[in-house]
Chain A
Amino acid sequence: MNFTLRVWRQPNSRTPGRLESYPARNIDPNMSFLEMLDVVNEQLTLENREPIAFDHDCREGICGMCSLVIDGEAHGPEERVTSCQIYMRSFKDGATITVEPFRSKAFPILKDLIVDRSALDRIIQSGGFISVNTGQAPDANALPIGKDLAEQAFDVAHCIGCGACVAACKNASAMLFVSAKVTHLGLLPQGQPERDRRVRAMVSTMDAEHFGNCTNQYECEAVCPKGISAANIARLNRDYALASLKGMFTKKSESAGGG
């Protein structure tokens, strides 16, 4: 198969970027999208031109590092997969394919297709955890947790933190990401003591990091490689409203970090 790629090239965060065209020739339909980029990069290297920079690591859809917008869609044309799990058989021979980075004010471009998503880490650092030091835990079976509840918690805990939800949202909202962690920990009995301070701290960090608000377009859910439901955003809103209301009547520190 042969393709024409239009790829976003940008030397660094200070210099404006633009789309440039590259041919991709003799591509096997069973190649992954990233392997196709590898082939193009090998060619560029041999021509002594700079290869296209893109983030990737596990190449099996779990690390969350790959982050391409392919033909306008975060993680490309297939549902419930990451960029690394897109295969060239999904494209028509001869097609022109546009490849761009995950765009958002909160994700500055570092180079070409690589963006800085550390804002998501800072949201977790502000409260996305259960404060338990190593060595304090009771026996794992001391507290039974219903199978359905454990499964529900897993469904949201499965978030890989790729940020596709942000890239797909016209408001660059991170609410699907935040709601996944708030729901995961909020469902479990171990997460209850910090539930209120967690949601308030995470939402306040999210706002400070320039993520937008949710206006119910559900683009996030559509591109999420792990199929996390936008219904969790409703749960996040409810948890946040309740926690804020309770906060009016009790004096609490805003940060969950104190543990």
Chain B
Amino acid sequence: MTQLDAKIPSGPLAQKWDRHRAAIKLVSPTNKRKFEILVVGSGLAGASAAATLAEQGYSVKCFCFQDSPRRAHSIAAQGGINAAKNYQNDGDSIYRLFYDTIKGGDFRSREANVYRLAQVSVNIIDHCVAQGVPFAREYGGLLANRSFGGAQVSRTFYARGATGQQLLLGAYQALSRQIGLKQVQMIPRADMLELVLVDGQAKGIVVRDSVTGKISSHSGDAVVLATGGYGNVFNLSTYARGSNATAIWRAYKKGALFANPCFTQIHPTCIPVSGDYQSKLTLMSESLRNDGRCWVPKKAGDKRAADAIPEEERDYYLERLYPSYGNLAPRDISSRAAKRVCDEGRGVGPSGLGVYLDFSDALKRLGEATIRERYGNLFDIYHEITGENAYQAPMRIYPAIHYTMGGLWVDYNLMSNVPGLFVVGEANFSDHGANRLGASALMQGLADGYFVLPYTIGHYLAGSKKVKPSVESAEFRQAESETEARIARLLGIRGKRTVSDIHKQLGKILWENCGMARNRQGLQDALQKIPALREEFWGGVTVPGEGKDLNQSLEKALRVADFLELGELLCRDALAREESCGCHLREEYQTPEGECKRNDEEYAYAAAWQYAGETSAPVLCKEPLIYEELPMATRSYK
């Protein structure tokens, strides 16, 4: 078993980061350009890291699977980005953002990382404004804020309903500037299919050019994975269709530990599923819950239209259950509340899997013009998809997979247990514990990429021997031939089932057994079904076309092959964690009201899984979570 050392600096919490930065090794300006860093992924974390490292003088290669770095799925984030600026004079502070994030994560995140995140949050806003990000402003010209779930202050900065787009374009432009200056070599339409270790250190990757199908190797002094989350393991999610876990899964199989895989966020407000053909689910931003009220009929089976149900026969269940946070209760809690009322037969819409998100009070109070200004594009998206007008009738929403808190294990320096392999953004596990608060994903991605990794990677490089191995070396040759063999095997099966069909089935198994509520029996069943499905995949899938060509079926098959392994680890982790916390509700461990019952005595740790080969079960390594500053408390939003 790998002994985990989180390398948390000593000293008082508030001084750890400053003291660490002062103590870590530096690389001199003239030496920086001699180091080559491979950044995989070009979303908020990847683009900001690649741009900043290049500004510092490192040679950078950046890879993305899309046709342009500007397409990364950070672009779809709608609501906002948190920062402890206290511009609203409502009592916010770094400490309060830190506290809210730890509490929101149900005391399953690493305290020192979260404190640092809250500290650098303020720098992010400054930097993005300097880049020209058009945040919302007040008439006086100062920045505007809105509220988000799990907080009682207004600390969320936003750009209408497209905050992720504007922040990503800021990072993309910074990256583009470095590409223009030839400090970054950008390699789009490239799928990372293997991580290459030389003497136990991460020294390169193998990629497939998705236009020509050519397999090639790239070597570097360090590898940074910024490849996002793995929510598409569920098939139906709010992720982009191309989002995948292959990079982090390949790293896992090369020895990097995978932490808390079962911590997957289910977002309460998405447009409900309408049919079996559906390819993705669309989020309706959490910011809508600032002005929208969630309700269902009080009576089960009430099929009347929303406007025919009088006020006294409606159950505004979030306001009833959580009076102090109301509709702004955190995501895990709001999702489960929606599931519960639907399970009671009170769900709305044709499938009964939906609740109302009603703006009529806000429309009366503020007028349509104000609502349109705040949420116009979200109401438009809702209209495009459903054909319904949410200014006139309430939206119908239902929870959907949206984010993964779990990811590759990293230490305080964002380095995995594999030396030289860094993991940033959603791809790592550290900051959000068992539940992420709204508007904190953008914050973490940019914190890691702009303000944390560019410091900590220098410490590693300064201390490492500078030997960039040749891509002709045996390690690279072997990784390439293994990748070629995997591709040949997939193309050679020529069975009867499509990749999408098997992916759908995997998603269904996971959603039913490892979704909003989990129990021992269901997880054990899933652990039987997934390996069987995997066998069916390798025995009976059909992947048309050739390897040395643009072949989207092959791309998808490679990704789903990895999801079929990852899905099993998800269930294994959920089964091993015999407690409920945040998003992870084990039905055996809940309060009479259906809230999470944590077990801090036995489970106050990050569960980091170590790959042990095809035939053995992975090994559970534990990083105890020690709270120096905050006493662990029961989370309450009542």
Given contact pairs A53-B552, A130-B130, A62 touches B75 in the complex (Cβ within 8 A):
yes
When C-beta atoms are compared, the residue in chain A nearest to B497 turns out to be: A46
Chain B 22-47 residues near chain A, CB threshold 8 A: none
| Chain A residues, CB < 8 A from B277 | 28, 31, 35, 38-39
Q: How far is the CA of A55 from the CA of B188 in the complex (A)?
A: 13
Chain A 24-70 residues near chain B, CB threshold 8 A: 28, 30-32, 34-35, 38-39, 42, 44-46, 48-51, 53, 55-65
Q: How far is the CA of A137 from the CA of B179 in the complex (A)?
A: 22
Counting CB contacts under 8 A, is A111 at the interface? yes
| Chain B residues, CB < 8 A from A154 | 134, 159-160, 162, 166
Flag if A125 contacts B176 (CB, 8 Å): yes
> Given A42, A53, A57, A78, which contacts B501 in the complex, CB threshold below 8 Å?
A42
Interface string of B158-178 (1 = CB under 8 A from A): 011010011001001110110
Flag if A259 contacts B181 (CB, 8 Å): yes
Flag if B73 contacts A34 (CB, 8 Å): no
Flag if A150 contacts B55 (CB, 8 Å): no
Of B62-70, B425-433, B564-572, B622-630, which stretch is located at the interface? Answer: B62-70
How far does the Cβ of B258 sit from chain A's closest Cβ, in whole Å? 25
| Chain B residues, CB < 8 A from A135 | 123, 127, 451
Interface string of B169-196 (1 = CB under 8 A from A): 1001110110111000010100000000
Q: How far is the CA of A99 from the CA of B530 in the complex (A)?
A: 38
Flag if A139 contacts B126 (CB, 8 Å): yes
> Given A87, A133, A157, A191, which contacts B169 in the complex, CB threshold below 8 Å?
A157
Chain B 524-555 residues near chain A, CB threshold 8 A: 542, 544-545, 549-550, 552-553
Flag if B73 contacts A58 (CB, 8 Å): yes
> Given B76, B125, B450, B552, which contacts A58 in the complex, CB threshold below 8 Å?
B76
Counting CB contacts under 8 A, is A145 at the interface? yes
Counting CB contacts under 8 A, is A124 at the interface? yes
Given contact pairs A60-B381, A87-B384, A137 touches B181 in the complex (Cβ within 8 A):
no
Q: How far is the CA of A259 from the CA of B552 in the complex (A)?
A: 39
Counting CB contacts under 8 A, is A257 at the interface? yes
Of A167-175, A182-190, A207-215, A229-237, which stretch is located at the interface? Answer: A182-190
Q: How far is the CA of A89 from the CA of B383 in the complex (A)?
A: 13
| Chain A residues, CB < 8 A from B169 | 157
Q: How far is the CA of A158 from the CA of B387 in the complex (A)?
A: 23
Flag if A126 contacts B282 (CB, 8 Å): no
Of A1-9, A112-120, A241-249, which stretch is located at the interface? Answer: A112-120
Of B99-107, B140-148, B291-299, which stretch is located at the interface? Answer: B140-148
Counting CB contacts under 8 A, is B135 at the interface? yes
Q: How far is the CA of A18 from the CA of B242 in the complex (A)?
A: 27
Most chain A beta-carbon contacts within 10 A, residue among B48, B66, B138, B177: B177
Flag if A65 contacts B159 (CB, 8 Å): no
> Given B67, B123, B165, B181, which contacts A158 in the complex, CB threshold below 8 Å?
B165
When C-beta atoms are compared, the residue in chain A nearest to B55 turns out to be: A133
Counting CB contacts under 8 A, is B500 at the interface? yes
Flag if B66 contacts A65 (CB, 8 Å): yes
Most chain A beta-carbon contacts within 10 A, residue among B132, B139, B553: B132
Counting CB contacts under 8 A, is A136 at the interface? yes
Interface string of A130-150 (1 = CB under 8 A from B): 111111111111011111001
When C-beta atoms are compared, the residue in chain B nearest to A152 turns out to be: B134
Flag if A121 contacts B176 (CB, 8 Å): yes
Counting CB contacts under 8 A, is A218 at the interface? no
Counting CB contacts under 8 A, is A72 at the interface? no
Given contact pairs A46-B542, A138-B130, A147 touches B242 in the complex (Cβ within 8 A):
no
Q: How far is the CA of A123 from the CA of B149 in the complex (A)?
A: 39
Flag if B132 contacts A185 (CB, 8 Å): yes
Given contact pairs A65-B67, A121-B176, A128-B176, A150 touches B135 in the complex (Cβ within 8 A):
yes
Counting CB contacts under 8 A, is B314 at the interface? no
> Given B127, B181, B494, which contacts A132 in the complex, CB threshold below 8 Å?
B127
> Given B137, B240, B279, which contacts A35 in the complex, CB threshold below 8 Å?
B279
| Chain A residues, CB < 8 A from B131 | 129-130, 132, 190
Flag if A147 contacts B387 (CB, 8 Å): no
Q: How far is the CA of A143 from the CA of B451 in the complex (A)?
A: 22
Counting CB contacts under 8 A, is B616 at the interface? no
Q: How far is the CA of A31 from the CA of B165 in the complex (A)?
A: 26
| Chain A residues, CB < 8 A from B380 | 80
Counting CB contacts under 8 A, is B454 at the interface? yes
Counting CB contacts under 8 A, is A153 at the interface? yes
When C-beta atoms are compared, the residue in chain A nearest to B53 turns out to be: A134
Q: How far is the CA of A16 from the CA of B389 in the complex (A)?
A: 45
Q: A87-B384, A118-B188, A147-B141 provided; 18 other pairs, C-beta below 8 A? A: A30-B275, A32-B279, A38-B277, A58-B73, A59-B279, A59-B280, A59-B282, A63-B73, A129-B173, A129-B177, A133-B52, A134-B55, A138-B126, A138-B130, A157-B166, A160-B75, A184-B134, A258-B181
| Chain A residues, CB < 8 A from B125 | 140
> Given A28, A50, A157, A158, which contacts B545 in the complex, CB threshold below 8 Å?
A50
Flag if A134 contacts B550 (CB, 8 Å): no
| Chain B residues, CB < 8 A from A143 | 129
Counting CB contacts under 8 A, is B267 at the interface? no
Q: Classify the interface of chain A: helix, strand, loop or mixed.
A: loop
Counting CB contacts under 8 A, is B489 at the interface? no
Categorize the interface residue count of chain B.
Answer: 35 or more
Counting CB contacts under 8 A, is B391 at the interface? no
Interface string of A101-114 (1 = CB under 8 A from B): 00000000011001
Given contact pairs A146-B137, A158-B162, A117 touches B67 in the complex (Cβ within 8 A):
yes
Counting CB contacts under 8 A, is A217 at the interface? no
| Chain B residues, CB < 8 A from A147 | 137-139, 141
Counting CB contacts under 8 A, is B498 at the interface? yes
When C-beta atoms are compared, the residue in chain A nearest to B541 turns out to be: A45
> Given B68, B75, B141, B501, which contacts A120 in the complex, CB threshold below 8 Å?
B68
Counting CB contacts under 8 A, is A77 at the interface? no
> Given A44, A45, A125, A134, which contacts B127 in the complex, CB threshold below 8 Å?
A134
- 26 A-B interface contacts by CB (under 8 A): A38-B279, A42-B501, A44-B544, A45-B498, A48-B544, A57-B73, A57-B241, A58-B76, A59-B282, A61-B381, A118-B68, A118-B188, A128-B173, A130-B173, A135-B123, A137-B129, A144-B137, A146-B139, A147-B137, A147-B138, A150-B135, A154-B159, A154-B162, A158-B165, A160-B165, A188-B134
Q: How far is the CA of A151 from the CA of B139 in the complex (A)?
A: 11
How far does the Cβ of A60 sit from chain B's closest Cβ, in whole Å? 5
Given contact pairs A134-B55, A141-B87, A111 touches B177 in the complex (Cβ within 8 A):
no
Counting CB contacts under 8 A, is A203 at the interface? no
Q: How far is the CA of A154 from the CA of B158 in the complex (A)?
A: 11
Given contact pairs A50-B545, A57-B71, A121-B70, A184 touches B132 in the complex (Cβ within 8 A):
yes
3 closest A-B pairs (Cβ-Cβ)? Answer: A144-B141, A129-B173, A137-B130
Most chain B beta-carbon contacts within 10 A, residue among A34, A53, A121, A126: A121
When C-beta atoms are compared, the residue in chain B nearest to A34 turns out to be: B279
Counting CB contacts under 8 A, is B559 at the interface? no
Counting CB contacts under 8 A, is B51 at the interface? yes
Q: How far is the CA of A138 from the CA of B553 in the complex (A)?
A: 48
Q: How far is the CA of A110 from the CA of B70 in the complex (A)?
A: 19
Flag if B274 contacts A30 (CB, 8 Å): yes
When C-beta atoms are compared, the residue in chain B nearest to A29 turns out to be: B387
Counting CB contacts under 8 A, is B4 at the interface? no
Flag if B188 contacts A64 (CB, 8 Å): no
Q: How far is the CA of A80 from the CA of B381 in the complex (A)?
A: 11
Counting CB contacts under 8 A, is A85 at the interface? yes
When C-beta atoms are compared, the residue in chain A nearest to B454 turns out to be: A134
Flag if B134 contacts A28 (CB, 8 Å): no
